[in-house]
Amino acid sequence: MKRLPVLILIASSVCWGQSEFKVPLVYANPARALPLMAAGDGVLYVAYRSWTWARSSSRLEVLAYDLNGQKELRHATLPVPEVYGTRAADGLYLSPDGRMLAYAELHDPCLLLLISARDLNELRRSTSLSFVENDPTSSRRQDDELFTGFDSRGLLSIALERPSKGVRLVRVDPAQLKVISSRLTAQDIPWQDASDHLAWFPAARRVWTTTDGGAGSGWIEFTEDGKLTGAGFSGPQDDTNGADALGEGKLLAFYGGSDHGTVISYHDGRSDTLNLPCAPSPFGISNDPGYAGALCFVSRPTNQELGKPTAAEFMLLKTKGPSVMWREKNISLIDTLETDEHDREFYQKGHPLIYRAGKKVYVVAPSSKPELTTYEVPSPD
């Protein structure tokens, strides 16, 4: 397998033709809950909890926003299980036919909510998710559940990681919100001790894992029933920072050190390499496998130890190549940490949404303010 190294310097890229605008989020409090986003047919959908002065929340705000016209189309408020303090959510996704939104909070109190994309009315919900283990004595984190939305058949896809047990891949029928398939891959696919070492692409029924979980880890691909596909590659001598599964036999992997990093694009037996003067991590949810996001960090040694990152920059990547298409320093990591009464932690990153529509790529990023910043980046394709 041949690798083609490409060196991209931070100072060499341009931000040609890019414009931006704000999307206001009424009643939002990013310090308590981060907004989730999905998009289709030029419409941005946003869901987020609103909060009272007593730091309680029992309402979910849902809005539809016209990206081209830059105006709000609809806004709805839906009742949800009451919580206090902060809340980490698991995802908002649009169905393949564009008719339905799925919103999930997979830890206690659990919620799986289906919403009509046409009028934002509630379609159905479940607050008793039998496939989510809720052992008060366990120390599981939210990272142990991965909600990836709809697969190609319109079924909801959820991956559950359990130490020493493996990975359970669950499909839920949205018509009745019942589990129709559940497969434990413990004996077939190696369980990894961090979600950064697992990538699942339900539409192609493929699962990727790192080869050993440490520095120099490569990635290998399995079918969902645990069979090796033969796809895979070796990694550089740096820690793996995660990967984006792009399809059958396709992966975008991220590696990084203190002041350098690598992005490897693997496509049907061929791997191409992008070298960077910073350490990239996957950052963003994209509707198009041709585009992905990364947050690239630079840190400097301090007293013979690596200090905290001194600079970070968001990069919009074209996965073919790979190459840097656009970058923005004002998109930074916004996160939420929730701790329950059993001292279990649930963590949510404020991932930007990467949405391609026609000749534009929209990057919609949350911030510490009750608003979203939307960047319009012309596509060269």
What average pLDDT does this structure show over 318-336? 93
Q: What is the pLDDT of residue 130?
A: 75
Instruction: Give the count of beta carbons closer than 10 Å to the beta carbon of residue 178.
Output: 11
User: What is the distance between the alpha carbons of residues 142 and 231, in angstroms, rounded to a whole number?
Assistant: 29
Q: Please check the confidence at residue 303 and state whether its pLDDT lies above 50.
A: no
Q: Please check the confidence at residue 150 and state whether its pLDDT lies above 60.
A: yes
Domain residue limits at 351:
5-378
Confidence of residue 5 (pLDDT cuts 50, 70, 90): very low
Q: Closest by alpha carbon to 330, among 104, 92, 22?
A: 22
- When divided into structural domains, the chain yields a total of 1
Name the more confident of 265 and 310: 265
Alpha-carbon distance values, 354 to 39, 276, 278 (Å): 9, 21, 21
Calculate the CA 289 to chain-centre distance: 13
Q: What is the largest CA-CA distance in the chain?
A: 59
Confidence of residue 164 (pLDDT cuts 50, 70, 90): low
Give per-residue pLDDT as tens, 27-46: 999 999 999 999 999 999 99
Q: What is the pLDDT of residue 3?
A: 35
**Is this prediction's pTM over 0.75?**
yes
**Residue position matching structure tokens 């949810």:** 285
Confidence of residue 167 (pLDDT cuts 50, 70, 90): confident
Give per-residue pLDDT as tens, 230-255: 999 998 888 889 999 998 999 999 99
Which two tokens mark 247? 């399809």
User: What is the distance between the alpha carbons of residues 24 and 370, in angstroms, rounded to a whole number?
Assistant: 6
Q: Please say whether the beta carbons of 207 and 167 come within 8 A.
A: yes
Q: What is the pLDDT of residue 310?
A: 63
Q: What is the pLDDT of residue 381?
A: 66
Q: What is the pLDDT of residue 135?
A: 41
Instruction: Please tell me the least confidently modeled range out of 98-102, 140-144, 331-335.
Output: 140-144
Q: What is the pLDDT of residue 128?
A: 86
Q: What is the pLDDT of residue 309?
A: 52
Give per-residue pLDDT as tens, 200-215: 899 899 989 888 756 6
Residue 287 per-residue DSSP state: S
Q: What is the pLDDT of residue 139?
A: 46
Q: Closest by alpha carbon to 355, among 67, 155, 154?
A: 67
Of the ranges 12-16, 66-70, 338-342, which is most confident? Answer: 66-70
Share of the chain above pLDDT 70, in %: 82
What average pLDDT does this structure show over 127-149? 63
Q: What is the pLDDT of residue 235?
A: 87
Q: Please check the confidence at residue 23 and state whether its pLDDT lies above 50.
A: yes
Which two tokens mark 116? 């009509």
User: What is the distance between the alpha carbons of residues 321 and 167, in angstroms, rounded to a whole number?
Assistant: 31
Give per-residue pLDDT as tens, 6-20: 333 333 334 445 689
Q: What is the pLDDT of residue 224?
A: 87
CATH number at residue 367: 2.130.10.10
